[in-house]
Structure 1
Amino acid sequence: MILALVEHDEGAPEELSLESLAMARELATAEGDSLEAVAFGDEADALGDELGEHGVEAVYCVAHDRLERYAPDAWAESVVQLASEHEAETITAPGTDRGREVLARVGASLDAPLATNCLAVDIADDGAYELRRNRWGGSLIEHARLDGEHKLLTAAEHEFPIEPAASTTEPSVSTFEPDLEDDLFAVQVDRVESGDEEGIPLGEARVVVGGGRGVGNAEDYDQLEELAELLGGTVGASRAAVNEGWRPHDDQVGQTGAKISPDIYIACGISGAVQHMVGCKGADTLLAINTDPEAAIVQKADWAVIGDLHEVVPELNEALRDAS
């Protein structure tokens, strides 16, 4: 059995969890094994129908009177107990901070190997996994083997397409009650506070307009914000722009910022350092606006406009306003 950890928002599976389910489903199909899911929190029992569209055969909703808030050690122990009870040989999780944190603890408990940020996984003749995964923030791709009584994997962000299974299932939904000691709650989320971020989050935007050092100052982001609004998207920034104080860190795209996968990424005045490209490589189409035809981002772009963004973007905005 392959057991997949699924994160959700009030019963709706998170996008990265669906991506990791795609990876887990590939393995389950190749091994002729069942794909089952574990979820925590209120309304986890509402996941059945949607997870059935992705090939999940059973959903286990973890119930415990002290798990109303996230506690990494308690989550991990719950997964360990469930995996042991159902003899799960492979455990997967989404490529989120929480997914990696929980599986690291599961691995320590089971003395099992963990491979994070997986890009592709194949099964060798001897049953081991042969995989490719991101290392060093995505600047290197590692080819590795993963073997053991239990195998733990997380999926790299935006590398596995979210697609329904060839045939849907009607998964059973049941409650799993773990036996958890007090010391497992030494670390636990105390409260959750909503941020003041407005608009479409970077990770969900289908259009992202990014600005780098070439924008020149904070005020000139107004034209990028207008372009993003006209296209129904949101604004991102390079680390250089964030370091200058022109944009908040929440807007940063890159190795130490957000990883995005929009339909189109319009990069304005961005040089294309490898750390930035790690964050935007999931874009379906990359359009670069830059005065330097030799800039790294121009060389990697699907389309490029060689020109001053302060001239190009206003004209593009005007054309879009006229067309609307």
Structure 2
Amino acid sequence: MRLYGEKWTRRELEARVGRIEQVGGIRRFQLSEGTEAGTEQIQVRTGAGLCYYVSASRGLDISLAEYAGVPLSWQSPNGDVHPAYFDARGVEWLRTAAGGLLMTCGLTQVGSPCEDEGEACGQHGRIHHLPARQVSAEGNWHGDDYEMRIRGVVEESSIFGHQLCLTREICSRLGDNRIVIRDRVENRGFKPSPHMMLYHFNFGFPLMDEHTTISFPNGQVRARESELPLEGYDTFQEPGVNYRERVYYHTPDMAGRQDGKASVVIRNPNFPLNAGNPGIEVALTWSADTLPRLVQWKMPGAGTYVLGIEPANCWVEGRAAERERGSLVTLEPGESVRYELALEIRGI
């Protein structure tokens, strides 16, 4: 592996530390105060600057993420609320959404509250508030590479209703500033089930400021509200008290892309590192075959200063609207779909 600017074998590194967690690794713990009490998190440190917290209590989503001790993600005012406080009705999701690097939305509903075939669907579905089962968090050597892997199962089910199961795996390696997320969603029921999936990545200050630019994949882009201008969708700005959120819909053009991947790159030439070149870029890459749409949430508002980059298989107007336009994804009994996403931090 490469660490601290040098190449090391396993034994060379082990000779220099008491245990590997001195330079990087995994730790599990529980929060203990207020509405966060009882929330279980798993800290991952890669030793190369990247540190992030996986919430086992909240769908194995990712809370705070930092690079060299400086935050990359946006944290909501709610904090890492225990899922027992979740209310699925209407827009009550907003009271307990944690923010963080990743909030998964789905598995059967994404976007605005609606009623679909007699079922009340709250904002962004339930998966962000469902605790994971069979959670494992391990660090293991593979030759001279040390890999940290978190795995678990999240079930969204009801009697007489849908029975979807998300199996999630999150991986990083010592010495790398990279997170890989591999998901599999399976319909374990015996009737077809709607399936809506959106990966709500949230980037915040100081990665996001008036110097930040965003590069999107080639393709079509339009504002969700037709009266809003396209100008400025690829830049950010200072906080505004009365800023109205803007949502943009991107459809990446995958013609000629043999790997089937789409990417968004966020660049800030003035990221506040203590030494060396301060500029960084954060690249988010995903499998566009199963996540063919991209939603962008631009919200440089005072107190809600965040850019949402959201690969998805749907838009965010709710399940009823998706069904009406004929674009609702359905999983047949026993059918499954896989998703893969990767986030990488690089110097510029």
Question: What TM-score range do you get, normalising by the shorter chain?
Answer: under 0.3
Q: Which has the higher helix share?
A: 1
Using the size of structure 1 for normalisation, the TM-score is 0.24
Name the larger-Rg structure.
1
Q: Which has the higher strand share?
A: 2
Using the size of structure 2 for normalisation, the TM-score is 0.23
